[in-house]
Structure 1
């Protein structure tokens, strides 16, 4: 069984051994038409220039997916097919030169089910609905707290200004955290950030509902803003992972609507809760209401960053073949953590200066 892309070094020889032909009109990508640059950021000086080697495209497939491929009599491929000893969907390969190294980049095939842009309409809407609900609940938590301030400070024998400080701490961390959190989505993907941050967000309500002093409340509000910022900073980028430019208007409009609705709608129910069963239940009921969505995100939310799926494929192929040339774009194009933190935080501060 052939497990290494040595055939890509001699495209003229392999053109005759390819099992079939898939026309280039059905699969065009910008980075196969012109040389790529290893970085678009002047600060990412540690990256080498990356160029595509012409006439060096091929395909990878393995495991159960290979059997399905063989049964598809209508499938035509425009390059040589390499079999690998691992379950791998049909994946496009492209030989690239990065400095003095030659790499084999993995890309999605047309109509790949793991490509978020190829997901069905209702699947993308389901993902968008989860994100909008998360944004709504986080927005509600922002201002619902204000309805119980008077009762809370009376119980703790503190000033109203001390209680209002919880509004500031939430918004402060919600504004500053994205400067440092956003780059990590480029490294680990969206789902782990959403699920992890939202879990911590829900746990903060326990401290808010059971806090014995104002210090506990202020610390919990600070953490609530820290973890709740994911509902404001990542959603737009997640939509761009799934929707083409001409499709983004509707989901972005809905996101903007629920973000505003959450902040203005919370006092309607929070004031009633405060008058009837107390300020602690404002936080308790909010925490409980977030649990169904949290479970839904853990079980049904799909990773929307396509590069993460390709990165996992590349890792599996490297392990199966022992060939370290197999890479995804995220493996060799993603800047260092230091460069991304500088781009997202220091530059943002410069723009405000």
Structure 2
């Protein structure tokens, strides 16, 4: 295979139709790519658990805005501002906390973030002033912001190219549950016990999540070349490429590129008669669960990591595209969520907190289906497209599925906003909300995986920039939505945003055809940034 830009890989052996693992793991059992399935899935479950609690804590308040208003006298504008500050915190936290994850490991950052999230949930259960609402919302957003970037770093550490779409689909389902499905029990708890109990229960479950992280989440940071060798098998010095000690290597076909760039396919078995040329020492549990995993390097580079994401955001057109796509997605989600909280609580709908919670069942179903389409189905699609391309995978193959995903966002916005403006039966805008969230779940999983496949080695910097832009878009919309609606009316607002939502679709088609060229142009910078510590 001739020289190709970052992201382009051989995903399937043309002769045998075998999937080739990309990236190619070493023989070290401590490398996360070589972990057993249960270890990988345990780590993914824990970070998804934190993600669930993060989105629950940041979104659940919209169900009980009316009871809060009745008890504390907060206005809709003040509650909107509190929601906007939580979104702002999601954007501010990443640039501050992710450099620590790269320097000291993901475990300490997860633990600190979980502890702060727990404290904020307990604080929210007792708050009585608008100042407390603003302060706790901002801090909660900052604490939970790490989930959106670290989970992508964790997926990149643990899973291969053909598995990442499915993992991001699972991530989007978890976001879906935290955004929508959790609102159903929250509404009933508010009606029966009061809104403060909702935050109290969140605090208890977040405490359980903190303990699971402390006891079971393993550090996934791994640097090739730092593995520990404890011996060389006798009479096997001429076979250093075999990895026979790792049980997870059984029946796996791997692609190793020789100096002549020809693909070499190997089948690793777990036979007792075979022995490893290099015998690696598996890290003890104390090291795998260490509170800190320090990465040596320049502190100047550590400081540079605070602003590098913003350079990355504009230096890589693909990162810019994903930021715009993701930013628009959160904007429509924030608009729809706050519209439901305000419009459905007033005539002609006059929904109770429980009924407002039930409204979220429809967007949950829509986003769950979208996550399957943008995750598992997208993974299957790229394997099929790679086979048609002689086994060669291009990240842009994922973008074909983005076209219908973006179209559903536009259709959903019109079907959601216009019926509410005219007081149409609640089932019509609820269907529109479900279609919006199908587009959100599918396009989110696709673009996240596309960026991860294109620039794996700078995933932290790239995703920080994306998350900052995403949350700036959402914060601006939430702050301005109420006065905008008061000035021009709900119908005109949703007609405008429905038209604007076509922008990502207009950018998708050119990127399908020119994305590889953009990756090639950015290769020198990408390789330079990949080696920084």
TM-score (normalizing by structure 2): 0.40
More helix by share: 2
Measured in 2, the distance between the counterparts of 1:117 and 1:198 equals 26
CA contact (8 A) 2:125 2:196 kept: yes
The match for 1:65 is none
Measured in 2, the distance between the counterparts of 1:309 and 1:293 equals 33
The match for 1:342 is 307
The match for 1:208 is 124
Q: With CA pairs under 8 Å and 6+ residues apart, which has the higher RCO, 1 or 2?
A: 2
| Structure (1 or 2) with the larger CA radius of gyration | 1
| Residues 175, 349 of structure 1: alpha-carbon distance in 2 compared, 3 angstrom cutoff | farther
- For residue 159 of structure 2, the aligned residue among 243, 248, 273 is 243
Measured in 2, the distance between the counterparts of 1:162 and 1:116 equals 45
Is 1:261 aligned to residue 177 of structure 2?
yes
Measured in 2, the distance between the counterparts of 1:308 and 1:178 equals 26
Is 1:285 aligned to residue 201 of structure 2?
yes
| Residues 303, 169 of structure 1: alpha-carbon distance in 2 compared, 3 angstrom cutoff | same
Is 1:226 aligned to residue 142 of structure 2?
yes
Query: Shift of the alpha carbon at 1:267?
Result: 2.0
CA contact (8 A) 2:60 2:183 kept: yes
| Residues 119, 281 of structure 1: alpha-carbon distance in 2 compared, 3 angstrom cutoff | same
Is 202-211 or 334-343 further displaced after alignment? 334-343
Measured in 2, the distance between the counterparts of 1:309 and 1:231 equals 28
More strand by share: 1
The match for 2:105 is 189
Q: Name the SS of the counterpart of 1:248 in structure 2.
A: helix
Measured in 1, the distance between the counterparts of 2:120 and 2:228 equals 33
Measured in 2, the distance between the counterparts of 1:118 and 1:335 equals 33
The match for 2:364 is none
The match for 2:32 is 116
Query: Shift of the alpha carbon at 1:227?
Result: 0.4
Query: Shift of the alpha carbon at 1:307?
Result: 3.4
Query: Shift of the alpha carbon at 1:286?
Result: 1.0
- For residue 70 of structure 2, the aligned residue among 151, 154, 173 is 154
Q: Where in structure 2 are the equivalents of 1:69-84 lying within 5 Å?
A: none
Question: CA offsets per residue over residues 70-123 of structure 1, 9 Å max, x none?
Answer: xxxxxxxxxxxxxxxxxxxxxxxxxxxxxxxxxxxxxxx954333212211111
Measured in 1, the distance between the counterparts of 2:228 and 2:136 equals 36
CA contact (8 A) 1:202 1:290 kept: yes
The match for 2:222 is 306
CA contact (8 A) 2:155 2:167 kept: yes
Superposition RMSD in Å: 3.1
Query: Shift of the alpha carbon at 1:232?
Result: 1.4
Measured in 2, the distance between the counterparts of 1:180 and 1:281 equals 31
Question: CA offsets per residue over residues 263-282 of structure 1, 9 Å max, x none?
Answer: 12232122111111111111
Query: Shift of the alpha carbon at 1:349?
Result: 7.1
Measured in 2, the distance between the counterparts of 1:162 and 1:329 equals 42
Residue segments in structure 2 that go unaligned for 5+ positions in a row: 1-24, 230-292, 325-468, 470-533
The match for 1:331 is 296
Measured in 1, the distance between the counterparts of 2:143 and 2:205 equals 17
Query: Shift of the alpha carbon at 1:336?
Result: 0.8
Measured in 2, the distance between the counterparts of 1:282 and 1:304 equals 33
Query: Shift of the alpha carbon at 1:180?
Result: 2.9
Q: Name the SS of the counterpart of 1:222 in structure 2.
A: helix
Is 294-303 or 159-168 further displaced after alignment? 159-168
Measured in 2, the distance between the counterparts of 1:281 and 1:223 equals 20
Aligned residue-pair number = 232
The match for 2:95 is 179
CA contact (8 A) 2:85 2:138 kept: yes
| Residues 158, 248 of structure 1: alpha-carbon distance in 2 compared, 3 angstrom cutoff | closer
CA contact (8 A) 1:148 1:274 kept: yes
Query: Shift of the alpha carbon at 1:214?
Result: 2.0
Is 1:275 aligned to residue 191 of structure 2?
yes
Q: Name the SS of the counterpart of 2:128 in structure 1.
A: coil
TM-score (normalizing by structure 1): 0.59
- For residue 294 of structure 1, the aligned residue among 191, 205, 210 is 210
Measured in 2, the distance between the counterparts of 1:195 and 1:213 equals 29
CA contact (8 A) 1:173 1:222 kept: yes
The match for 2:258 is none
